[in-house]
């Protein structure tokens, strides 16, 4: 989850000093190499990470939709005053849950994961590792903090804007941010801070998008539920 953040690193004490001591790993030099790679035609779209993130965004939205329909249909059947057969009720309930699916909503969340979250988070983790390559407690805390301060608000800003754009409600976007952005971000902190710490501590770079995308099944469930309100 997860555009704020001091680009020069001055806010985070000691970060610039540590980067200068490790000149070969400076963010500036790595950014130049990345630019050269793009200019030389060697940069490729991270298709694997995009497909992974898109698939898991679809899974999270599907879980959210099924849960909402299950609860709504169950409540309506319980409030019904007409006598009914339990087997018939269960059959009708399952039919409503499986058939009454909002595929446009599912496509919105899937395209967000494929186009934005997968490629964006992959580039972000590469950038963090290039700036803070040493596996120290200080670097771990910096990565987790930056993940929440930069990536978290960016994800929420993009997914809210993407959803409102698809629905033709861009004029309502400021109100959506004002109402839901901060509560969603603060709720996400409770989940993503420990997950991010585990991700940066024990998961290798090549597997981080997949690991965080697995956690995103839960987070996309929360986002999708928030988007439907």
Tens digits of pLDDT across the chain (229 residues): 443 333 333 333 344 444 444 444 456 555 444 444 444 445 688 898 899 889 988 988 888 888 878 777 776 766 655 555 554 555 555 665 567 788 998 999 899 999 998 899 889 989 998 999 888 889 989 999 999 999 989 989 998 999 999 989 999 999 989 998 888 888 888 888 998 898 888 888 778 877 887 887 777 666 666 666 6
> Residue with structure tokens 């400021």?
174
Distance CA 97, CA 100 (A): 6
DSSP state of 228: T
For 189, phi then psi, to 5°, come to -55, -40
Distances (CA, A) of 27 to 31, 49, 51, 65, 150: 6, 23, 28, 42, 16
Q: What is the pTM of this model?
A: 0.67
């Amino acid at each position: 989850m997860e555009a704020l953040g001091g680009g020069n690193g001055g806010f985070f004490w000691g970060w610039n000093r540590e980067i200068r001591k490790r000149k070969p790993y400076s963010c500036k030099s790595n950014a130049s190499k990345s630019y050269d790679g793009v200019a030389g035609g060697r940069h490729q779209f991270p298709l694997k990470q995009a497909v992974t993130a898109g698939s898991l965004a679809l899974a999270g939205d599907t879980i959210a939709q099924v849960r909402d329909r299950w609860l709504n249909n169950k409540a309506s059947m319980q409030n019904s005053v007409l006598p009914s057969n339990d087997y018939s009720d269960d059959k009708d309930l399952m039919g409503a849950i499986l058939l009454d699916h909002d595929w446009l909503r599912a496509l919105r969340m899937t395209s967000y994961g494929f186009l934005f979250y997968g490629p964006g988070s992959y580039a972000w983790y590469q950038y963090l590792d290039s700036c803070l390559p040493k596996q120290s407690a200080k670097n771990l805390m910096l990565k987790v903090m930056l993940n929440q301060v930069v990536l978290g608000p960016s994800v929420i800003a993009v997914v809210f804007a993407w959803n409102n754009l698809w629905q033709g409600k861009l004029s309502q976007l400021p109100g959506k941010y004002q109402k839901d952005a901060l509560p969603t971000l603060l709720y996400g902190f409770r989940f993503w801070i420990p997950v991010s710490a585990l991700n940066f501590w024990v998961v290798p770079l090549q597997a981080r998008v997949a690991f965080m995308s697995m956690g995103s099944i839960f987070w996309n469930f929360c986002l999708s539920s928030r988007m439907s309100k």
